[in-house]
Amino acid sequence: MSVSEEDKILQNLLNTILFVAMDDGVISSDELAILKQVKLDVKSLRIKIEDATNMATSSNEELSLLNEFKKNLLQNAYDISREDKKITIEERNLINSLIKVLMN
């Protein structure tokens, strides 16, 4: 998969969760924290992909990076949503949208 294809997929992920966060017309501080973390995770993945591409690693290693990214992204979103010991419906919707996008 070329970098531009990956960029499109990652941008779709960001757009999807932003749309879900805006569904009720308000982005709560918890939703904003999740959105910021996802953006950081996406930036980190882009760096890892570029490094893997530059090092001419195998597609298995790139797939491993992608799977690790998905796991970490979901875990980070879940951890942020649990910080106040309560997961709101909006946070749950964000996490569910992340899962849907990442499984496609």
State the pLDDT at residue 63.
75
pLDDT given for residue 103 in this prediction: 81
Exposed/middle/buried for 22, CB within 10 Å: 0-12, 13-18, 19+? Answer: exposed
Residue 48 confidence (pLDDT) above 90:
no
Label residue 77 by pLDDT band (50, 70, 90).
Answer: very high
CA distance 46 to 26: 29
Q: What value does the mean pLDDT of the chain take?
A: 83
Closest CA to 30 of 76, 98, 96, 80: 80
Rounded Cα distance, 7 and 94, in Å: 20
Note the pLDDT tens digit of each residue in 1-29.
455 676 777 788 888 888 988 888 989 89
